Chain A
């Protein structure tokens, strides 16, 4: 059974550019959530999607957005990149959000220069 797949694994972007990260959840999982991990702040919740609808959102600026497709795959977009956006971005999927735990992907390491 394939796990959660995140692409790309590594990314280098310049300040001001935009970036799109992709997450393919485990087959059958309908919930996808995104997190930003930095050494200083730890893991911070970005947003969560369930059946193509955003169910929850963390305290990040509007430059961070996401969406979920009908096949449950999800994308996260960051516009007008800042140096502080450099982080490991993790995606997790779950069957139903509450009664089942989350399975994480290996993450996308984004470096903004």
Chain B
């Protein structure tokens, strides 16, 4: 059974700090992994998509890495800002049944 785990469930850091969010998955047979952010009561905004053949993707202050062998992905946020406060979710599409499985997210709060 594919499980996607995000630890910690919540995180508070002062503005300006660099931070890392973690995502782990039990079945390494995946097509891709995607990171999203969700603001309260809103839909999801796609941040980065990493194909199974890739090791990392970058967009602005965000960098996501993928290590399939260990079943881990990290989302690195540089120079955090109050506007980065949101819930961050990761999702994998697994090969064996083509389903997308989401983690429960990390609620991030950047302290001004």
- Could you list which residues of chain A lie within 8 angstroms of chain B, going by C-beta atoms? 4, 6, 33, 35, 42-45, 48, 55-56, 58, 88, 90, 92, 97-107, 109
Q: Rank and list the top 6 A-B pairs by shortest CB-CB distance, nearest first.
A: A101-B49, A43-B102, A104-B44, A104-B43, A42-B104, A106-B43
* A45 partner residues in chain B, CB cutoff 8 A: 99-102
Q: Given known contacts A101-B34, A104-B46, what 16 new A-B pairs fall within 8 Å (CB)?
A: A6-B43, A33-B100, A42-B103, A42-B104, A44-B102, A45-B100, A45-B102, A55-B98, A97-B98, A98-B93, A99-B51, A100-B49, A102-B100, A104-B36, A106-B43, A109-B41
A-B contacts, 26 of them at CB < 8 A, read A6-B43, A35-B102, A42-B102, A42-B103, A42-B105, A43-B89, A43-B91, A45-B99, A45-B101, A55-B98, A56-B98, A56-B99, A90-B43, A92-B44, A98-B32, A98-B93, A99-B32, A99-B51, A101-B34, A102-B34, A102-B46, A102-B100, A104-B43, A104-B44, A105-B43, A106-B42
**Interface size bracket, B side:** 20 to 34
B contact residues vs A (CB 8 Å cutoff)? 31-32, 34, 36, 41-46, 49, 51, 89, 91, 93, 97-105
In the complex, A55 Cα to B45 Cα: how many Å?
Answer: 24
Chain A residues whose C-beta falls within 8 Å of the C-beta of B44 in the assembled complex: 90, 92, 104
* Dominant SS among interface residues on chain A: strand
